[in-house]
Structure 1
Amino acid sequence: MSPRQKNKLNDIARQMMSGVVQILVEGYIEEDIQSVLNPSVKIPGIWSGSGFFVKYKDLEGYIVTNGHVVRNAVKIEISSMLTSEERFEAEIVGLVKQLEPDVALIRLMDKELQRFKKLAIQPIDYLELREGANPSRGELIKAIGYPLGMVEPNITGGEITNFISGSEFTSERFVTNAAINPGNSGGPSITEDGKVIGLNTAMIVDAQNIGFITPASFIKIIIDNLILLNEPHFAGIGGKLQKNAENFNPLLKQDHAKGVIVSKVQTNGFLEAANIKARDVILSINRAEFDRHGIVIGKEGLYRHKNIFDVMKLVPIGEEVEIRYLRDGKVHQSKAKAMPNPEKGIISSPILNERKYLEVFGMVIQPLSFEIIQAIQEVDPYAQIEMLKILDQEKPMLVVTHIHQGTQADQMEWPLGELIIKINGKEVHTLEEIQKVLEKQKGEPVLLECQSGMIGYFQTEKEPSLGN
């Protein structure tokens, strides 16, 4: 890169720096195992991150940041180099709770936006997302943010060094050697065209010069969903896929292994809507063809391992999708509208204030979530293994996550991690179902049965306490 090009990128970064803000948060420390197993225990904390004013239609005061920066926040304030050390209160528009991708959208409240404009030394610089064209390896970028709580924005330089494909559960990321440290995650990575190529997202601990960027195309879809639907969803396949192989040629009546095999079709999902069946072979989606590994074939695939999940997630929900597939040796074509994957019974529940729980008989009962399964590992790895066996459960499951000493549950020596499946012989899947039965008992004994076969016979004393 010539000195002139380098200076141009430096100048652009300095100009765009005014659109980047520091985000200061008061909230709860979500990683604390006590809070996961007993949601009535909340550990307060303070932290900071970065964000940027995003250009989106005619909206004002909207800021993009990482989901982990504002997840479990109680109070959010932003500061900007345009307004000295003044702070302005912001509210969450929405976020990807599972952090895949790690994106959130916040906004200045109306009064705060007006106060910001009044105090700012110049108009807000709204940064534009770069969509469509993907970066290439070696493309120079600048990452902007407020690392380690610095009060002035920091600019670090680097380049796009690699790409990480998404999966059924993860989203695509760009890899960079630009320094991305705690605090400047949530800020923008920008290119010579003066646009945001992506969101500074994370670094690998103990790795040298490896950081991640969430692509701008994913950010745009998240913003659309948050503003229009108030819930960030990507389009999903709606089933399980497996790699193709030449061994399957006689079975699938294919000339050679190309495309991926559908191993399972999920009820009420995209594949079912497109009339796809198990053992069909998906050849292309919206004209993007796939090899036997599910990787896009063509020039883009030569330099990138963009896969079928990446292609699907970039289709806006509700948009019609064209899918070509092989069945019994013949190529067919079908269409269906893009939709999120149907929700399973076992979900992620990372927002502390949204966790529902029931305190009864001296124990805390919660809907089973991925966070609980992970927390249980630190207490009882065997119990975690039992829970992992039911991840594909269609209905929710209830789990005992805490036992208070000296209570009925403690006297019966109920262990942590028991999965409750029946109350008085009736199958239960929700806290509300348990609560209804207990309200009818009015002092009568209650029999709880667990998946392990363990039982508990409890005397009801008062109405159960349902919390969140």
Structure 2
Amino acid sequence: MSKSKAKLNDIARQMMSGVVQILVEGYIEEDIQSVLNPSVKIPGIWSGSGFFVKYQDLEGYIVTNAHVVRNAVKIEISSMLTSEERFEAELVGLVKQLEPDVALIKLSEKELQRFKKLAIQPIEYLELREGTNPSRGEMIKAIGYPLGMVEPNITGGEITNFISGSEFSSERFVTNAAINPGNSGGPSITEDGKVIGLNTAVIVDAENIGFITPASFIKIIIDNLILLSEPQFAGIGGKLQKNAENFNPFLNQSQAKGVIVSKVLANGFLEAANIQAKDVILSINQAEFDRHGIVIGKEGLYRHKNIFDVMKLVPIGEEVTINYLRNGKVHQSTARAMPNPEKGIISSPILNEREYLEVFGMVIQPLSFEIIQAIQEVDPFAQIEMLKILDQEKPVLVVTHIHQGTQADQMEWPLGELILKVNEREVHSLSELKKALKGPSGKAVLMECQSGTFGYFQLEEESEN
């Protein structure tokens, strides 16, 4: 065995004591019934991994995957330091959309003191590796509690590849170290004794391909959760497209370098930086981009880090310098990093946070990405109609469930109807819908949908029901 490998083994055994098993009681979020009718909640139990993180002088904080604790009702941890004792933990915050898949939980002061009292040695707080990124072939150890094991498991491997982020996803490292169900949320560590990232996922039916969320994202999320109470990432605030030599005469450029801005969103970063559509972004904070939006330079030879990856790692509120081409001339501008402006159609993955209204035998909810995905398995044609309005600025209400024997059922209203008006008034939210439905007893309600379907409902009958 090489000295390097032996050293990594010793470090992994030491850091293993800072890794915990996370046991969760909650709701199974993947159930389609729960998405289309939030009053239906399917209980379940599952487990994952996490680790005590070193952050300033805070104690008892644990990093894990968001998917481990999302929709949790009760969270407990256990550690090899305290035999089989369990300690109740509370959620500090998480990235609800799982991009990146990171959450932060903590032991209350009472539970932390109980943990310390029972522990056979002081808590091992693991330090995040920042700044330097791994290289292909760098050896790592993944630590966690796979398949419900009661003792931590260590698997070895190396960084084999990188996956760039996008407007909707975050960068990930690829490893051949075994990451199995239950390993999620545990750390991947390197020879320097630091956490390179968070064990996140494995591809089903693929051999030795696992994903790691980089430590740099974890640091930003912890900062956000401690300071802002919610995770936020800087966004471009617009739509981009690849450059090409064909554009040279039109853009007055000598060669296709940098990415073209095709759309600027109101109240977003590009607008704040005075960038216009058809400008070409050449660099952000001195990171230059080729025509595909990939970082140019030594790092670009070994991995495809792109413009979205660069932007997301800038802390919210920090000043960003952007160089761009307009009419053949290079300009420079600055603006504060900010999240992308929120659209009308959003993600709503937390079951307990989903708002809905039952009226005339229908379950009506604000349209979300989860609903669009669930509708696909019920009616693909209804999903197509929903996908047409993804870019809408205002929220949209959708019918997600019809109760049998009700007014809506008698009119044979289809699932997935997008509600536009109630009694000639536009409605975009459940509060607007409630206001529109208020009226004298016995008054009828005319409800109109985007597809042209309309319903004529009796309020008196509804109140009796």
> If the TM-score is normalised by the length of the shorter chain, which range does it land in?
over 0.9
Letter in 2 for 1:259: G
CA distance in 1, matches of 2:91, 2:4: 38
* Partner residue in 2 for 1:349: 348
Note the C-alpha offset of 1:439.
2.6
CA distance in 1, matches of 2:44, 2:133: 38
* Partner residue in 1 for 2:449: 450
| TM-score for both structures, normalised by structure 2 | 0.99
Note the C-alpha offset of 1:441.
4.0
* Partner residue in 2 for 1:372: 371
CA distance in 2, matches of 1:441, 1:352: 34
Moved more, 233-242 or 453-462: 453-462
* Partner residue in 2 for 1:95: 94
User: Structure 2 matches for 1:311-390, cutoff 5 A?
Assistant: 311-390=310-389
State the Cα RMSD in Å: 1.1
CA distance in 2, matches of 1:441, 1:137: 70
Post-superposition Cα deviations, 1:325-367, rounded to whole Å, max 9, x if no partner, equal 0000000000000000000000000000000000000010000
Structure 2 SS opposite 1:284: strand
Which sections of structure 2, spanning at least 5 residues, go unmatched?
none
CA distance in 2, matches of 1:248, 1:437: 51
* Partner residue in 1 for 2:159: 160
* Partner residue in 1 for 2:284: 285
Contact 2:50 2:186 in 1 (8 A): yes
Post-superposition Cα deviations, 1:414-463, rounded to whole Å, max 9, x if no partner, equal 00000001000000000011111223343311110000011000011388
User: Structure 2 matches for 1:165-314, cutoff 5 A?
Assistant: 165-314=164-313
Structure 1's 211 and 441: CA in aligned 2 closer, same or farther, altered over 3 A?
Answer: farther
CA distance in 2, matches of 1:390, 1:297: 36
Matched, 1:28 2:27: yes
Contact 2:25 2:73 in 1 (8 A): yes
Moved more, 367-376 or 442-451: 442-451
Contact 1:284 1:323 in 2 (8 A): yes
* Partner residue in 2 for 1:7: 6
Matched, 1:416 2:403: no
Structure 1 SS opposite 2:460: coil
Letter in 1 for 2:33: Q
Letter in 2 for 1:167: S
Matched, 1:396 2:416: no
Structure 2 SS opposite 1:364: strand
Structure 1's 243 and 117: CA in aligned 2 closer, same or farther, altered over 3 A?
Answer: same
Structure 1 SS opposite 2:438: helix
Note the C-alpha offset of 1:3.
1.6
Contact 2:18 2:123 in 1 (8 A): yes
Note the C-alpha offset of 1:311.
0.3
Contact 1:202 1:212 in 2 (8 A): yes
Note the C-alpha offset of 1:64.
0.3
| TM-score for both structures, normalised by structure 1 | 0.98
Structure 2 SS opposite 1:440: coil
Paired residue total: 464
CA distance in 2, matches of 1:201, 1:314: 19
Structure 1 SS opposite 2:435: helix
Letter in 2 for 1:151: V
User: Structure 2 matches for 1:128-139, cutoff 5 A?
Assistant: 128-139=127-138
CA distance in 2, matches of 1:441, 1:48: 52
* Partner residue in 2 for 1:76: 75
Contact 1:50 1:187 in 2 (8 A): yes
Letter in 1 for 2:346: I
Post-superposition Cα deviations, 1:50-97, rounded to whole Å, max 9, x if no partner, equal 000000011110000000000000000000000000000001000000
CA distance in 1, matches of 2:339, 2:47: 32
Structure 1 SS opposite 2:197: strand
CA distance in 2, matches of 1:416, 1:441: 29
CA distance in 2, matches of 1:371, 1:451: 20
Contact 1:100 1:171 in 2 (8 A): yes
CA distance in 2, matches of 1:255, 1:219: 40
* Partner residue in 2 for 1:62: 61
CA distance in 2, matches of 1:152, 1:202: 20
Structure 1 SS opposite 2:334: strand
CA distance in 2, matches of 1:318, 1:4: 44
CA distance in 2, matches of 1:212, 1:111: 35
CA distance in 2, matches of 1:203, 1:461: 54
* Partner residue in 1 for 2:426: 427
Contact 1:439 1:463 in 2 (8 A): no
Which sections of structure 1, spanning at least 5 residues, go unmatched?
none
Percentage of matched positions with identical amino acids: 88
* Partner residue in 1 for 2:36: 37
Post-superposition Cα deviations, 1:290-346, rounded to whole Å, max 9, x if no partner, equal 000000000000111000000000000000000000000000000000000000000
Letter in 1 for 2:65: N
Contact 1:368 1:396 in 2 (8 A): yes
* Partner residue in 1 for 2:140: 141
Note the C-alpha offset of 1:230.
1.0
Letter in 2 for 1:29: I
